[in-house]
Every structure is written in structure tokens, then in C-alpha cells.
Structure 1
Amino acid sequence: MSNRDNPYDTGAGEVNITFGGLNAGSDRSAAAGAGASQTAPQGTDVIKDVSTASFAADVIQESRRQPVLVDFWAPWCGPCKQLTPMLEKVVREARGRVKLAKLNIDEHPAIPGQLGIQSIPAVIAFQDGRPVDGFMGAIPESQVREFIGRLTAGDTGRIEEALAAAGQAREAGDSQTAVQIYSAVLEQDPEQVDALAGLADLLFEAGRTDEAKAVLDRVPEAKKGASAVAAVRARMALAEQVAELGDPAELERRLAANPADHQARFDLALIQNARGEREAAADSLLAIVKADRAWKDDAARTKLLELFEAWGMSDPVTLSARRKLSSLLFS
């Protein structure tokens, strides 16, 4: 629906309507920041009946987190009975990218009066605390999908910005903020793979392995092979292996007594990796490849490739170790 056809567009770009003392056109930056640090409980329904009293919280404030459609209806309205079930279906299929608030105009006439609603069904979309678009009448499902698609078209860019912010928070050592951002992203898009992987990784780093596994279980089947997910699973698998390896000091003593003890060097490499000593781990495995490529059916090279996947293909240590490996294999 174009602005020309939109009966709710004022042409001014900013709509100011006061509901229950809350100015919908007020400065949104503080609320947007708060929205990024708070997440609704898992399982919160995306469809809700609202009233005049709850409109500010359920529509105005909630629209600062994701678009909210307000369905103005009445029990006597025949077209409403056609539109509402279809609206609910499409909103549920959007998986949290948009919410639906249903308001009975007979029971709560004040808000539709303020908005100038004179016929129903009428649907108004709110974003960032203000009405931004709308339509009237029982339009076809395809047009409803198109309408919601326009509202959520900017989600990808916002999610990418949020993921970048979460990455910066992690680099700065602020895991709590990163967790909050990942959780906020997942409220908008419960299947966002990078957010699921990032949240699982942080939980794993915090020693909450069972919770990390539960988050990874939420990854859709078609996306389980995503590199970010594979990296977290690889780290978790390595950690499980390391837990069974024993005392690193003993392994070092074995190597000092016998530098050809490849098993001791291999086990030490896994422990070094678990400690975050990536260069040392790579060098240990490269030393085995150099000394005996065929040891245990090329186990050192195979493990090194697993580490590359866990570290990420663009990681500096991965790039350096891959060059050294190529030099050993093809020199």
C-alpha cells in the first residue's frame, strides 16, 4: 500500500498521537536501547487482545521491539470474521517478526476515535511507537503477506547491526550485553542461526553446557550445517575429548623423555586448544605431521582440520597454520 493510498499517512513523516499520557512521537532512542537489553519470556504469544488501558504497553511500547498490527474489530462485523483468522495465521507464520493486537471497538471506543477509524475491519501497523501504515477491509491473504513483508523488510539490516554489536561486546569482554543482544535478535527471528550459535557459544564458555546444547537444538534442520553452528559444536566436542586426556604436565614430561611420543603430543595439542593456546596446538599437530604423516591414519592432520573449522576459516591462526600445513604436504 503506498502512502498515497494510506488513509493514516499525514505526509509529515512523524505522527504524534497521545494514548494514556504516552506520546507516540516522542524520542525513541532510550526505549529502543531498553528494548535491546530486555527480552520477553520464551513462548510469549504473538497475538493478544488489548484494551484502552493496555494499549500503551501492548502496542506503543511493544512496537519499539517489532512491528505491531492493531486489528480494530467488533463482534457484529462480518468482514472482520473473515479477516481476523487469516491475519492470525500470517502473523504466526512470521515467527515473531510482527505481533498482532486485537481491539474490540465496541468495548474500547476511545483509541479508534483518536485514530479517526470510521469503518471496520481496519488494521493499523505501529513501529517505533507510532502508526506507520494501514489498510481497511477484508483484503486477500496475499495482500496481507505483502503488507507484513513491507513492514519487516528492514529486519535483515537491523539484525546484522545487532549481531555486529554483539560481536563487539564479546570482544570487549562484555558477555552479558552480548547475551542480551542475541536474545533480543532471537525474539525477532527465533531461527536466526548466527544468534543461536553466538548464544550457545557464550553459554558454553560460561560452563552451562546443557543450556548451550538446548539452544543448538533449536537450530532448524535445514540450517544445522551452518558454519557458525558447526564451529560451536566442534568446540564442545573438543572440550569433551579434553576432559578425558589427563594432566598436561605429565604429557610434557613424556615428551621431554621421548620427543617421538606422538600420542602425548597429540593429547597435549587438544589441551592447548582448550586453554586457548591455538598457535601452540597447531604447532604440536604440525610437528606430528612433519615427523610421521601416517601416524594413526593421518590423525594429526585430520584433527588440525577440525580445529580450523572450530576456530573459523578467517582466524589468523587458521590461516597461518594452513599455510604451514600446505608447505609440509606439498614441499
Structure 2
Amino acid sequence: MTQPTPPGAGLNLRGAVDLGALAARNSRREEVARRAAADPAAQQGSPFVVDVTEDTFTEVVQSSVSFPVVLDLWAEGYDTGAEVLAQLADEFGGRFLLGRVDAQAEPALAQSLVQSLQARAVPLVAAIVKGQPLPLFTGAYPSAEEGRALLEEVLRVAEANGVTGRVPGADEAAADAAEPAAPPPPPLHAEAEAAALAGDYEAAAAAWQRALAADPRDAAATEGLARVGVLRRVQGVDLAQARAAAAAAPDDVAAQLVAADLDLVGGHVEDAFERLLGVVRRSAGEDRDAARTHLLELFTVVGAGDPRVAAARTALSRALF
């Protein structure tokens, strides 16, 4: 699996409208529709595979708070082996939704995905969990065995983040055996996730704060606000400079807090925890309290059920007492 998405990266759809690209997109959409109409078998499709357009993209991504979404950006002539993903979507029986993006029919959406995920080739396949992208592979489709292993890892990440629902639309036999799909997110949750996905972390934080004002016990809103807080803090931060500053001044609490956020966003959870635990052990007074408070916020982002959080909580108690 590729490295985690760089700090602050999101699937940003904002940008200028290219009228030429719009005309090409519409032409391609019409061609796809004609082919589908001429092939009755293709119209039946799978309940676990959908074609994604600019109009449906936000809705599809928002559904990732209930079940994982796997986005497949493909182009005609470069889609050899794409059927493996569709077959795996059926094999997994709705544990994830496969969303296919035709790069020729949706050039603006395709460009946004390529830029957001810093890819260089199609096909480009990424998982989306709670609105957050996780690049899987580019340039060539995997074998069924390799794809199955990747998807199992995606499901493990989703489960760790509390995303365990199933895609609606399974046949009756599969539905009887399947776990019920998670209910749709509350409106403020959906608003916050959509804003975060668009890179508007201020709006996302405001939506989460309104959700908490309505229900202070809303654990999902508490987690969402903490997650957006990290993204706000690392937005625009120069990774190399921040890491160099932290390495040069291990007792500079502010530098260590920034580096811990970058560790977390980069997927280095234990490094982030250990960095802040080190500050707690070495400092006192306001510095120690700042590091402790920051560490508790990162615990919220990762989730109380994560074993790394449990281990770090034990280490924090020892450091404090």
C-alpha cells in the first residue's frame, strides 16, 4: 500500500470551469449512456458498484461515514483488469462501495482527484473512510489476490475508525446475512465532513461545534472537531522545516506539538504519542500541561478503542504520577 496522504491533503473540487472540458465531458457521458442502452446486461449492474460524476461525488464520499468507499479513476484503453475490483466488490457483499470515475467523461473531477492524491497515472484507486482518502495504487490494476489483501486492509482501517456498515442494495439472501447498514449521518455531521473534504477546515470546525452545542455528549462530533483541529494546525506547514525545528530543539514545546501533529497526519501514530510523552517527562508547569492536553486531543482523534491509545494512556499516567 502506498504512503498516507500528505498533511492537509483533501479531495478539493473547487476551481475554474473549463468550458471546453465541459463539452468533452458531456459528449463522453452521452457515449457512455448509448453503450449502456445497447447492452441490457450492463444496465443490471451490481448494487455495490456505481458510476461517479461531479454531481454525485459529494454524496458518494459522504457515505464513507457509514461504509468504506473505493474510488476507481479509469480511462478507456487503460482499464485492463478493472473487472477485478468489480468482482471483489460483489465478493465482499457490500462491505465497501466501488465508485468508478470515467476520466474522459469527468475531466474536472478526474483532475481534482489526481491533484489531491498527487498521482501520476491512471488507473488511480483510493479508499475513502470518513471522508479521508487513503491511496491504494496507481498505474495498473492488481491481481485478485493482491486486490483482496488491499481491501482487507481498508476494512481493518475502517473498522478501527468505527465504519462497519454495509452498502444498501444486496439481494435478499445477502441482506439476511449482512449486518444492517449504519443510519445516515445527522445533517451537521454531513455538513462538517463535506467541508473538511473540500479543505474548508474552518467551516468544518464550526459545524462540529454547532453539533456539540446541540448535544455535548456527541462523541462523533468531539472526534470530528479534534480531527479537524489537527488538519487546521498543519495546513500550510512546511514539513521539512517543522521537523528540522523539532529535531534542533527537543525542549521547544511549540515545535514538538507541531511535529506531533505532522507525525499523526502522516500515519506515524506511535511516534506522535512518544514525542509528546517525552515532553511530559522532561517538562513541568505550563509546558507539561500543554503537552498533556495536546496528547489527549490526539487520543480522541485516533480513538479510545485503539490499542496504541491504551498503551500511551498508561505511559502518560506513569509520567504524570
| TM superposition score normalised by structure 2 | 0.41
| TM superposition score normalised by structure 1 | 0.40
Greater RCO (Cα-Cα under 8 Å, separation 6 or more): 2
